[in-house]
Structure 1
Amino acid sequence: MPSTKLSSAVSTEVGMVGYGQSPYYKRTDQSLISLLAQTSRLALDSAGLQKSDIDGISVCSFVLAPDNAVTLAEQFGLSVSWAYLGTAGGAGPVAAVLNAVRAIEAGQASTVLCLAGDNYDIAGHYKLMDQFNRSLQDYGTPNGFGGANGLFGVVQRKHMATYGTTRAQLGRISVGQRRSAQLNPNALLRGPMTLDDYLNARVIADPIGLYDCVLPCTGAEAVIVTSLDRVDRSKRIRILAGYEQHNHPPGEIAPLSGGWELFRDRLFSDAGRTHADIDFVQAYDDYPIMVAIQLEDLGFCRKGEVGEFLSRHDFSYDGSFPLNTNGGQLSCGQAGAGGGMIGLTEAVRQLRQEAGEFQTAAPRCGLVSGYGMVGYGHGLSSSAVILENVK
């Protein structure tokens, strides 16, 4: 089955023009709707647009039900001609942006508010995973599968055994991102971390340790998609190319690759860019091993050679390979489905050079990748987009 693609003929005059991020909380009395509203206002202010400009809405969330995109529009007082509810977990927000572009090109909407977020704590996350879908509910949970930690412990062990990847190499991702997070006031985990701290942390699901795992939290993210000519030039972030792919490889338990490998070449070809043009990567980082697999499948190194790639790079915001420049989910926390959009909001912030102390030096082009919807043994959904500022 061919991958879903953003047409190579897509107008590059549709892009992202505003972004917003709520505070992240370990626990809060605020409702999810209030957090989504807060980040929507921030995104509108960032774009210089008004609420009345919005005529499309998308939302990705695990705990919004029984509400959805249409009832969210009602609660926001919006009349919309296009509504989209994400179903691809951490790959959903990138896919939502791509579908918003298509909706604008088709004349179904002119300005789309894309939202993602959740409101839960650690206990709520575990409960969610136990009932995440039929395969886990009926087969994983009754057999004590250990949640996502257990599933991805198997993936990491398999990658280590197959390619010789080491924990010390993977730990460089967590350590580099933590250095960036120390400068980000919205990161929940900002304490210093050395590679020894990473390696000596308690085991959670062998070989996964404490600092391989995200902290479930509450928060919301937003971006606004519209024609670039509607805003000041300094606010414009062009979408050069993007793809989504689901259930690849089919039928394989704990695969060491994902859908990115199917669309990688077309992604860069459509964008008219090479890997050398990418100034930063915002990769979905539920676990370092999945960041490593994304780097392989997206072509930054060959399959099985990511260990050496990790050994020779610094992954902080000012390192040799800027990665998840705000600290990523591993240090900021994972706000449910918001974890799939934190990379998009950070990419817009970096490309507009508004990141403050953790600003990467003069970035022009960045890549954001998504991953999610854990099924029976692996994540089912992959997505990626290449973005560029208009300077």
Structure 2
Amino acid sequence: MSKRSFPEVYIVGAGQAVYEKKSERSVQRLLYEASDAALASAGLPWSDVDGLGVACFRLPPDNVTTVAEHFGLAPRFLFHGVYGGASGIVGMLHAARAIQNGDAEVVVVATADSFNVTAHNETVDNFNVSVRDFMSPQGFAGPNGMFALHTRLYMQRTGAREEDFGQFCISLRENALRNPNALFKKPLTMEDYLSAKRIADPLRLFDCVMPCVGGDAVVLASARVAERLSVPKVAILAGGERHNYPADDIYAPYSGWEAYAGQLYERAGVSPGDMDFAQVYDDYPVMSFIQLEGLGICQQGDAFRFVREQDITWRGDFPVNTGGGQLSAGQAGASGGMIGVVEGVLQLRGEGGERQVANARRGVVSGYGMVAYGRGLSTSAAILERVED
């Protein structure tokens, strides 16, 4: 029987800003659009919001406090995510604790970015001191070069083939074709994947996310507020985060989820086999494989076989990234860590449209980010469950 780490907290809304390749919209506007859509789905007005969480690479010199000013809010609780793609889930967990402690009743957690190629490259080159001072001057190939090394290492240690990464990308593209907010609108075949240009060996074009413009948000509310809302509700059974793991191996073929996944499931009162889907951070297929293993969906070093043998599309044996993930919907900077949360909430609310997973009751979502010298430093995860009336 499932248990809830936050019994007095519900996710009551989820929304997105429109994903586009290019846009003149500011990041403040994107954060507002995603938040407004999430509040509309909850049936709540802006006047009820007394907590705000934000993550956005292109926001400085603004921060969450000035965003609250832009929105006309006077919050009791604020969170500013500085963990890259792990920030969305970390912020959601902090918000849940604040509500449970009585420090807020309605919290919007919003992520967004407005990336084009130039903005993306500027951000990557100045991501942190390690990258700025020691890697960019040497002409490193950005995250593509770094995760090409991770991909090669994973292939050498497990026996995974390029076709396995291709199958992952193809499955996510099939999911994206049923998502009106995904950027990629054409089917992807194995021939398309294998014939695409090399970006950083062994990575090909479709292994790499496309920077874009967009935003994602969820609304969390206290039980007192949620009980008066006539909308589907989602519970957070458990959540966790881990940073700089393992501290002594910067190119380890794992990144922290396995350090707390067991506790995550124990606290939730469920097992990996009880999950109906997974929404994992997918900037590159190899990191999705590592998350599927670290979260216990499959055995260590076995994700490539899992993808070979399972149908991971929305209609399949075990759906993964049912909205297409970042690889087929686009990566709106820091919003890459929230796109899967929004998709998970939509699935559990029965609002997945043409990609709706049948009888979706429970799923795991995960985030990853803050790339430094050899890998991303931050991981996060949560187990979500539909609340039965």
Aligned counterparts, 1:126-275, within 5 A: 126-231=121-226, 232=229, 234-275=231-272
Shift of 1:197: 1.4
Shift of 1:190: 1.6
In 1, are the aligned partners of 2:178 and 2:354 still within 8 Å (CA)?
Answer: yes
Which of 63, 76, 99 is matched with 2:58 structurally? 63
Q: Which amino acid aligns with 2:22?
A: R
Structure 1 match to 2:340? 343
In 2, are the aligned partners of 1:151 and 1:254 still within 8 Å (CA)?
Answer: no
In 2, are the aligned partners of 1:136 and 1:375 still within 8 Å (CA)?
Answer: yes
Structure 2 match to 1:98? 93
Structure 2 match to 1:122? 117
> What TM-score results when the alignment is normalised by the length of structure 1?
0.96
Which of 17, 35, 38 is matched with 2:12 structurally? 17
Closer/same/farther in 2, CA of residues 233 and 280 from structure 1, 3 Å limit: farther
Shift of 1:57: 0.4
In 2, are the aligned partners of 1:100 and 1:112 still within 8 Å (CA)?
Answer: yes
Closer/same/farther in 2, CA of residues 199 and 228 from structure 1, 3 Å limit: farther
Report SS of the residue matched to 2:61. coil
Shift of 1:234: 4.1
> 2: distance between equivalents of 1:345 and 1:351?
10
Per-residue CA distance 1:33-62 (angstroms, 9 max, x = gap): 112111111111111111111101010010
Deviates most, 284-293 or 197-206: 197-206
Per-residue CA distance 1:190-223 (angstroms, 9 max, x = gap): 2111122112211100001001000000111110
Shift of 1:173: 1.2
Per-residue CA distance 1:132-181 (angstroms, 9 max, x = gap): 00000011101111000000000000011111111111221110010011
Q: Which amino acid aligns with 1:93?
A: G
Which of 269, 275, 281 is matched with 1:284 structurally? 281
Structure 2 match to 1:5? none
Deviates most, 38-47 or 130-139: 38-47
Q: How many residues align?
A: 384
- Give 5+ residue unaligned stretches, structure 1: 1-7
In 2, are the aligned partners of 1:233 and 1:390 still within 8 Å (CA)?
Answer: no
RMSD, aligned α-carbons: 1.2
In 1, are the aligned partners of 2:4 and 2:236 still within 8 Å (CA)?
Answer: no
> 1: distance between equivalents of 2:12 and 2:223?
7
Shift of 1:233: 5.8
Report SS of the residue matched to 1:98. helix
Report SS of the residue matched to 1:112. strand
> What TM-score results when the alignment is normalised by the length of structure 2?
0.96
Shift of 1:259: 0.9
Deviates most, 32-41 or 224-233: 224-233
> 1: distance between equivalents of 2:61 and 2:270?
42
Shift of 1:12: 2.1
